[in-house]
Amino acid sequence: VTTTTWDLLVVNAAVATMDPARPGPYGLVSDAAVGVTDARIAWVGPMAEAPRGAGAARIVDAAGALVTPGLVDCHTHLVFGGDRVAEFEARLSGASYEELARRGGGIASTVAATRAAGEDDLLRAATRRAEQLLGDGVTTVEIKSGYGLDLETEVRMLAAARRVGDELPLRICTTFLGAHTVPGEYRGRPDAYVDLVCNDMLPAVAGAGLADAVDAFCERIAFSVEQVRRVFDAARRHGLPVKLHADQLSDGGGAALAASFGAQSADHLEHTSPAGVRALADAGTVAVLLPGATHTLGERARPPVAALRAAGVPIAVSTDANPGTSPLLSIRIAANLACTLLGLTPAEALAGITRTAARALGLTGRTGVVAPGEAADLVVWDAGQPAELVYWIGGRLASTVIVAGDVVRSA
């Protein structure tokens, strides 16, 4: 009799594997077990089919509850100095955007506070925010730079972002977003700033291994298609994949631009044209929807979900957690808003915060699906069926969080 011994065995679970190779929108396996060896999933299936005599060093009994892959938040700005609480209060008390700008509000205030903050201060604040995501079942988080806008501060932001992964049991992906906005000292000289991004910042960041990808903001108030193209060419020279804040406030051809570089993702897409949707579909670029910004800004424009769906564009959902336009620290609320505001189905939203979000980070086959060979990133939920995770607006539903086979949170 051969016996199989796992490091960890989850039993009595209703596993929403999110594995497209299994039937149904959630790839659900009832009365299931998940065996973990060497931080990876070794086996998943009905308990009745588990290898005979299988044992484990540690057993987690889900008692019939739902188990999913660890959730993936693929677009955040968690590292920043200060906050924008006073601006939020002033705006809701009737102050105009002009008044707020005159008072030094907006992104410029976050840039000033971030430049003034030390790495440890940035780390401490970002870790507190990331802890909220972890408590909500997130096991992988992407964090962007983009509030430094000078070499030293961009490097400090990315170093702090990486260190969040030392403070908390989270997989961290870092993204260099030097081309977020033109800093005050370069006002009227955006091309000179793009030179700095391409010739100084990007080589330094890539050389130090601080970024896993490069992002930019393509918009009338930020960078043109031509300028973003220069940033993406530089990223390509350094072997880094790209992603893009595209078509958020106007149709600037951002989706097609991202697609033409084979971007991992094009994010926002509120004003993307039918041609942009086709380009994303042809390139296999993930559309990342950020309903927290729609909600916060009270924007009427919506990303073209029906067209994205019809074209077969993979759709992910993220918090866009940032101090100005989406102070959202729950990926499940983002998924709920993606359904209620943008029209996703719960199954699409759940795929969008697991499998497809992992794809947006280049992590396909590594996390985001409960299948053999993937990282053992799992969440046991205080819920019985997958749609519940999207149905409840917030609340503490993650009861046990497992990252790389380690139980890191347990209710």
Q: Residue 209 CB: number of other CB atoms within 10 A?
A: 10
Task: Using the structure block, give the residue that is written with the tokens 């969008």.
Answer: 352
Q: Where do runs of H (alpha helix) occur along 30-143?
A: 85-92, 97-102, 107-116, 119-135
Question: How many other CB atoms are found less than 10 A from the CB of residue 93?
Answer: 7
Query: What distance lies between CA 60 and its chain's CA centroid?
Result: 28
Nearer Cβ to Zn ion (322/399)? 322
Q: Please count the other Cβ atoms lying within 10 Å of the Cβ belonging to residue 372.
A: 14
Q: Which is nearer to Zn ion, 247 or 320 (by Cβ)? A: 320
Classified as helix, coil or strand, 14 is strand
Residue at shortest CB range from Zn ion: 320
107-116 and 151-167 are packed helices; what angle lies between their axes, rounded to 10 degrees? 80
Site string for Zn ion, 387-406 (x = CB under 5 A): --------------------
- All residues at 6 or more sequence positions from 237 whose CB lies less than 8 Å from its CB, including other chains: none
- In DSSP notation, 190-244 reads HHHHHHHIIIIIHHHHHHTT--SEEEEEESTTSB-HHHHHHHHHHHHHTT--EEE
Q: How far is the CB of 165 from Zn ion (least distance, A)?
A: 20
Scanning residues 275 to 334, which ones bind Zn ion (CB under 5 A)?
320
Closer of 265 and 400 to Zn ion (Cβ): 265
Nearer to Zn ion, 37 or 145 (CB): 145
- Select 362 or 372, whichever has its Cβ closest to Zn ion: 362
Rounded to a whole number of angstroms, the minimum distance from the CB of residue 40 to Zn ion is 31
Of residues 56 and 328, the one with the C-beta less far from Zn ion: 328
Q: Which residues bind Zn ion (CB under 5 A)?
A: 320
